[in-house]
Amino acid sequence: AKREGKNDLRFFAPELNAAAVERLDLEIRLKAALESGALELHYQPQFGAQSGELVGMEALLRWSDPELGPVSPDRIIPIAEDTGLIVPLGAWVLETACRQAAAWGFRVPVAVNVSPTQLIRPDFVETVRQSLARHAMPGAALKLEITERLAVRDPVLAAQRLEEVRQLGVRWSLDDFGAGHSGVASLLHWPLDEVKIDRSVIVGLGQDDKVQRVVVALLALARGLELPVVAEGVETQLQLDILRSLGCETVQGYLTGRPSPPEALTALLGHSADT
Ligand code: C2E
Ligand code: CA
Ligand code: CA
Ligand code: CA
């Protein structure tokens, strides 16, 4: 009986403003999409900045609603977090990425974004363990990306959960480093394996000398803690050249590869593998 469209919702809940109605409509559509298998993951390749070799794939959520068209994960994730849908959605993402990693023969680690709401749950570690087990996947073939938003809520629990997952051999990347929601506190208190400099920093690299000095400082911070760095959102050859000269380990961005459906990336892995 949950077939209400936009207009019906407005009828049943006239006190809702337009934004709230739109959100509720999206929530209903998203839930149906998850249940009917209409969600997809695309993967963006990561390359060694010096070697040019493929070193990883980041899984990114993709959803195209039949009526609304493509809906960005930046819209999907907040709604999923507010409604609790992030738990089954996150489990689906994890399971799908692990299945794909297995189909690729675990040639390179697959990175999965984890939202704070997922991590806080007591069954998170078990969810990860089960997805690994179902695909006979070594923990080292999985990376999880997290932002510092979590620390604000419960820093002690966060550190504990990260450590529990790490016991499985899974590695943690600090996402969005240098942007608003990931700073130095997480470097101090979390068991991390890598940091990713946010696209909002990289975008100005090569245009503004100040940006370059910030990148130098971020790299120095990471290096001081012996954490390798991924630069995200690399779009130009100049940015790549600068990052290479600064000793940044890994690059990811439109210059070297856009997020693409898994079939389109299979050739990059050097042998054929189909799901
Ligand atoms: P993020 O984790 O920081 O992912 C990087 C975003 O930058 C992705 O946007 C990617 O498509 C985009 N990007 C990568 N290289 C470039 C570039 O060179 N230029 C430009 N303009 N963009 C680039 P996307 O796929 O729209 O995802 C947005 C955010 O949504 C992600 O940011 C992540 O926070 C979240 N997200 C995506 N998939 C998932 C998921 O499965 N679970 C969770 N919890 N969050 C997800
Ligand atoms: Ca599908
Ligand atoms: Ca990410
Ligand atoms: Ca980012």
Cβ(204)–Cβ(211) under 8 Å?
yes
Tokens of 129: 């363990």
- The residue whose C-alpha atom lies closest to atom 12 belonging to ligand 1 is 233
Taking the chain (275 residues) in runs of 10, the rounded mean pLDDT of each run is: 53 70 93 97 98 97 97 96 95 98 97 93 96 98 89 78 97 91 76 96 95 96 95 98 98 98 92 47
User: Sign of torsion, CA 195 200 204 206?
Assistant: positive
Long-range contacts of 31-35 (CB under 8 A, 24+ apart): 31/85, 33/63, 33/65, 34/85, 34/88, 34/89, 34/92
| ipTM metric | 0.97
List, in order, residues 6 or more apart from 60 with CB less than 8 Å away.
41, 42, 43, 44, 73, 113, 259
How close is the Cα of 33 to the center of ligand 2, in Å?
9
Q: Rounded to the nearest 5 degrees, what angle is found at the Cα of 37, between the Cα atoms of 35 and 40?
A: 125
Check if 77 has its Cβ closer than 6 Å to any atom of ligand 1.
yes
Query: Dihedral, CA atoms, 78, 80, 83, 87, nearest 10 degrees?
Result: -130
Per-chain residues with Cβ under 5 A from ion ligand 2: 37
Q: What is the pTM of this model?
A: 0.92
Which one-letter amino acid corresponds to residue 209? D
